[in-house]
Amino acid sequence: MQALKNDRYLRALLKQPVDMTPVWMMRQAGRYLPEYRAIRAEAGDFMSLCKNPELACEVTLQPLRRFELDAAILFSDILTIPDAMGLGLYFESGEGPKFERPLRTESAIKALSVPDPEDELGYVMDAVRTIRKNLTGQVPLIGFSGSPWTLATYMVEGGSTKSFNIIKKMAFSEPGTLHLLLDKLADSVTLYLNAQIAAGAQSVMIFDTWGGVLSPRDYQDFSLQYMHKIVDGLTRDNEGRRVPVTLFTKNGGMWLEAIAATGCDAVGLDWTINIEEARARVGDKVALQGNMDPSMLYAPPARIEEEVQQILAGFGQGSGHVFNLGHGIHPDVPPENAKVFVEAVHSYSRQYHET
């Protein structure tokens, strides 16, 4: 494997000195780029794109050609594991992901097998290997997975939901059944992420998109303890260097201390928490990733730059900050606004790092 030409993203996650604050964007390979939409049309549908390693590599690299990003993130989907478990994933136009066979019974959950990451999910590992080869050491590659709780919401509800009634009914009326599923998913995610690391991912991130819909006690019981189990089981060193782990719970600002206590290297922040407050609470234990409101990218360039400066000032001096949006970039954001954002982070952040 080639040496990294730009490792400031990995260094920042480990709170090591950097020359400027690194930046990447959640969903940076996506629909806001016309070149992505062209490849998506060529692939035919979203999962066909995910399952073609060469096309997945191409869309992973597309944003790096436009912007001076400090990391690439594997182009894939959080629902690859449930798909590999045989639930019949499909996408309804305008409605998002759905499953033909949602999990509603203990017997159905017991019948699930943990997918072999190099077999049923081999296309993901092939994509990781292809991307690493084509990055030629330009920037690090981030691997990722959904959290057990977030994956379970889709698997039990049968798709996207606003109320979470079905999975919460299971959580409160049959907690043992849900814990059986979450434990199986934690094992699956651990194997999946370790396989991504072995294939070449240099950092991994767990997306707990729906952890914030739980009460504090239920978040600990149904989400955080399973992410903690995954962190404990991950390969933390590969290719002669540390493999940093980032945990991100959307709307999880009230639980920063508990997330940081899992042993992760970094905690992702959405835009609903002040980064200065977050650093005061957990910044001595972990790095922080975030946290500009993705909708800020609709603003004029001067307003985007102002927001970047405010967040940088909020974090303050020193390393341990990876600049990102507080969630994924919106599909209708002008690419030129994303460019303003990335360039602003680099230009305004140098003053916060000793040379």
Per residue in 131-182, pLDDT tens? 999 999 999 999 999 999 999 999 999 999 999 999 999 999 999 999 999 9
Question: 79-128, pLDDT tens digit by residue?
Answer: 999 999 999 999 877 778 999 999 999 999 999 999 999 999 999 999 99
The whole-chain average pLDDT of the chain stands at 97
Q: H helices then E strands: how many in the chain?
A: 16, 11
Handedness of CA 1, 129, 22, 276 (dihedral sign): negative
**Does residue 86 belong to any structural domain of this protein?**
yes
Whole-number percent of the chain with pLDDT over 70: 99
**Does residue 111 belong to any structural domain of this protein?**
yes
Amino acid at 126: D
Tell me which residue range forms the domain holding 212: 8-352
For 40-58, what is the mean pLDDT?
95
> Is 154 a catalytic site residue?
yes
Was 219 annotated as part of a binding site?
no
- Residue 287 main-chain phi, psi, to 5 deg: -80, 165
Was 29 annotated as part of a binding site?
yes
List the one residue out of 229, 75, 263 whose CA is nearest residue 147: 229
- Residue 169 main-chain phi, psi, to 5 deg: -60, -45
> Is 217 a catalytic site residue?
no
Was 80 annotated as part of a binding site?
no
Q: Which of 40, 83, 132, 348 is catalytic?
A: 40
Say how far residue 270 (Cα) sits from the centre of its chain.
12
Query: Does residue 204 contact residue 265 with C-beta atoms inside 8 Å?
Result: no
Q: Which of 9, 32, 36, 154 is catalytic?
A: 154
Was 298 annotated as part of a binding site?
no
**Does residue 221 belong to any structural domain of this protein?**
yes
**Does residue 66 belong to any structural domain of this protein?**
yes
Dihedral-angle region of residue 162 (phi above 0 means left; psi in -120 to 50 means alpha; beta otherwise): alpha
**Does residue 13 belong to any structural domain of this protein?**
yes
> Is 27 a catalytic site residue?
yes
For 300-316, what is the mean pLDDT?
98
How crowded is residue 18: how many other Cβ atoms within 10 Å of its Cβ? Answer: 24
Query: Exposure pattern of 262-295 as b/e (b: 16+ CB <10 Å)?
Result: bebbbbbbbbebebeebbebbbebbbbbbbbbbe
Was 150 annotated as part of a binding site?
no
What CATH number does the domain containing 58 carry? 3.20.20.210
Q: Which of 7, 70, 77, 270 is catalytic?
A: 77
Was 119 annotated as part of a binding site?
no
> Is 31 a catalytic site residue?
yes
Residue 297 DSSP class: G
* Total number of domains constituting the chain: 1
> Is 350 a catalytic site residue?
no
**Does residue 178 belong to any structural domain of this protein?**
yes
pLDDT > 90? residue 48: yes
For 19-37, what is the mean pLDDT?
97
**Does residue 240 belong to any structural domain of this protein?**
yes
| Cα–Cα distance, 193 to 235 (Å, whole number) | 8
Was 279 annotated as part of a binding site?
no
Q: Which of 8, 11, 27, 132 is catalytic?
A: 27
**325: which residues sit within 8 A by CB, 6+ positions away?**
25, 26, 271, 290, 291, 292, 293, 294, 297
Was 28 annotated as part of a binding site?
yes
| Cα–Cα distance, 138 to 37 (Å, whole number) | 24
**Does residue 1 belong to any structural domain of this protein?**
no
The predicted model scores a pTM of 0.98
